[in-house]
Structure formats: C-alpha cells, structure tokens
Amino acid sequence: MCPETEKLTGLIAATFTPLTPQGELNLAVIGPYVDYLLEKQSVHSVFVNGTTGEGCSLTMQERKQLAEEWCRQGKGKLDRVIVHVGCLSVKESQELARHAASVGADAIAVISPFFFKPSNAEALRMFLKDVSSAAPQLPLYYYHLPSMTGVKLNVSEILEGIEKQIPSFRGVKFSSVDLGDLGQCVSYCRLRGWSVLYGVDEQLLGALPLGVNGAVGSTYNYAGNVMNGMLSAYEKGDLPLAQTLQVKLKDTITFATSLGFDLAMNKQMMSLYSGLPMGPPRLPLLPWPSDTIQDVVKKLQQDMADLS
Ligand SMILES: CC(=O)N[C@@H]([C@@H](O)[C@H](O)[C@H](O)CO)[C@@H](O)CC(=O)C(=O)O
C-alpha cells in the first residue's frame, strides 16, 4: 500500500527525451542532464515521459528504458523521479506503472486517454483506478492537460470521492488555464494533504495565490534559476520582483510563439541553450531551421541574463 506522501514542492522539470540524430534513444545524455538540472538550474526533481518527453510518441520499451535510466542516474541526486505512464490502453498504462515501481520511481502520473475519451468523471476515475492497481505502493497523480487531450472534464468533478476508489491518489498536475477549477482542485487536495502542481509555466505566478504546491514544466529545464527566483520573491512577499521574473519568461515564450513555438522548437532551444544534445523531435514533429533556433535562444539568453 502507498504510504503517506510528503507534498511535492518547488519546480519539477518536465524532461526532454534525448535522441540520436538517427532518432534512437540517447541514454548517455541523461547522466549529464541530471547534473545540468541540479548544478545550472537548481531544479531537483523530474517528470519523465510526459508531453515534453514525447512520451506518447515513444514505444513501450523506450519509455521503460528512459524511466529506468532516469531513476538510475537520479538515485542519490534527485529528490523525485515522477514517471508519466499514461497510454491509450489501460493495459499498457498498467504495464508501465508496474515497471516504474520496479525501477524505483517515486511516483506515477497518468493523463486521460484521448482517442476514446472518458464520457464522464466516473469513467476516468475507473481508468485511473485500474492503473493504480498495478502499482498500489506508488503515489499517483492525475495529469490534466485539456488543451492536448480534449478531455474537458473539470478536475474538481474528477476528484469527487476519488480517495475511496484510489487509496494511492496524491494529487494533480494541473495544466489548464481555468483558475476557477484550479482553486477548487487545490481546496479539495489541501484538505487531504495532497499536492497540486501547476503546468502553465508562463503564468505560474497567477496560480500561486490559489495555493498550488509546486510546478511541472518544460521551461524549468532552462529557466529554472529565474523561476526559482520568482518563487522565492513570491514567498518573501516581493511581488514586483516576482512579477518581473514571471514576465521575463512570458516574453521569451511570446517571442517563440510568434515564430511558431512547439515542442520541437522547445527541444532545440534546450539543446542550444544547455549544450546538451537533445537531438531531433520524433515524427510527426519536424525540426526547425537552426537560424530560427538561434534567434529564439538569443532572446532567451537576453531574458534570463542578469536576472537569476
Ligand atoms: C502543453 C505543454 O507542453 N505544457 C508544458 C508547459 O511546460 C509548457 O511547455 C510551457 O508552459 C510553455 O508554454 C507542460 O505543462 C507539459 C509537461 O509538464 C509535460 O511535459 O508533461
């Protein structure tokens, strides 16, 4: 059974998946990637095989290899390795959940299936329950990302009574801009000692007064220092500084969006900014020309400079 779980706090990097130029997993990058996050970004936890990690574009075998390597390289260094195990097939999600437990992951997260979508909250709770039954000892987080899944059920509705069905349920990764639903979700989770992690990096500051415990996002791979600064400014009550730092990240994303920001661009930004070879995105995503990436990384460098 899943023990009581300490709350997840602070920034959690949604990791990119390093691929070779030929498009195969490049597991050798993960060791240096762990060190980069810790030493250069002061980010101490990771969320593996999620959207940023192209989890749904990877094979089962690749997802297992990545989960295993992140746990192996992160052992004794990272605070938490959370593995996303959501799949369209509940059986495959169970297999990944079982595997995550066997390699020492700290928690699992599950997105809603998005081809055949759950028709109501109960159907989604049943799906999550079946996944949890394969790894009952691991804390389970529901990963809410309606813009990508098209599953628009309110989280507050999904949470209703979920603890009775899923004893290992410990919270939500909330990647929606619906702050009303977020507030209700936080209120439900807080009463039960669970965590809510916000997933829209460019407006994290807006979610803090509602009581989110931490954040999972792609940009903390390269803007971790600045956003850690934003969190501590908020905690100290220095709102003008927190606002400045938050808007800096938004400025970068706005510029990237004007060029067509997507996961492929994000991944290439990470490679150029960090020096870690993340490699190409996987089809159907297409790589961007290098001059576009140079422009956006120049903007990122300007925005991050002298703020961290
Ligand atoms: C749709 C999407 O990819 N959202 C990102 C954000 O970090 C996003 O990249 C960021 O807010 C920039 O828009 C995360 O919520 C995704 C995430 O945590 C994950 O990779 O699982």
Domains of the chain: 10-236 (3.20.20.70)
226-261 b/e (C-beta count within 10 Å ≥ 16 → b): bbbbbbebbeeeeeebbeebbebbbebbebbeeeeb
Is the Cβ atom of 47 under 6 angstroms away from ligand 1? Answer: yes
**Separation between Cα atoms, residue 273 and residue 255, nearest integer Å:** 16
Let me know: does 95 contact 60? Beta carbons within 8 Å: yes
Task: Give the model's pLDDT for residue 1.
Answer: 79
Task: Give the model's pLDDT for residue 2.
Answer: 84
Q: Which of 40, 46, 53, 44 is nearest to 13 (CA)?
A: 46
* Spans in the chain with pLDDT lower than 70: 306-308
**Residue type for position 254:** T
Let me know: does 276 contact 270? Beta carbons within 8 Å: yes
For residue 181, report the distance from its CA to the centre of ligand 1, in Å: 18
Atom of ligand 1 nearest to the CA of 148: 1
What's 306's DSSP letter? T
For residue 121, report the distance from its CA to the centre of ligand 1, in Å: 23
Q: Which of 306, 207, 274 is nearest to 38 (CA)?
A: 274
Is the Cβ atom of 54 under 6 angstroms away from ligand 1? Answer: no
Atom of ligand 1 nearest to the CA of 199: 15
Task: Give the model's pLDDT for residue 5.
Answer: 77
Is the Cβ atom of 217 under 6 angstroms away from ligand 1? Answer: yes
For 135-204, the DSSP string reads STTS-EEEEE-HHHH-----HHHHHTTHHHH-TTEEEEEE--S-HHHHHHHHHHHHHTT-EEEE--GGGH
Let me know: does 55 contact 94? Beta carbons within 8 Å: no
Task: Give the model's pLDDT for residue 307.
Answer: 60
Task: Give the model's pLDDT for residue 3.
Answer: 79
Mutate which of 200, 246, 259 to test ligand 1's pocket (most atoms within 8 Å of Cβ)? 200
For residue 266, report the distance from its CA to the centre of ligand 1, in Å: 10
Query: Which protein residue's CA is at the shortest distance from atom 21 of ligand 1?
Result: 50
Percent of the chain's residues with pLDDT above 90: 96
Give the phi and the psi of residue 217 in degrees, each rounded to 5.
Answer: -165, 165
Does 81 belong to an annotated binding site?
A: no
Does 5 belong to an annotated binding site?
A: no
Is the Cβ atom of 51 under 6 angstroms away from ligand 1? Answer: yes
Is the Cβ atom of 176 under 6 angstroms away from ligand 1? Answer: no
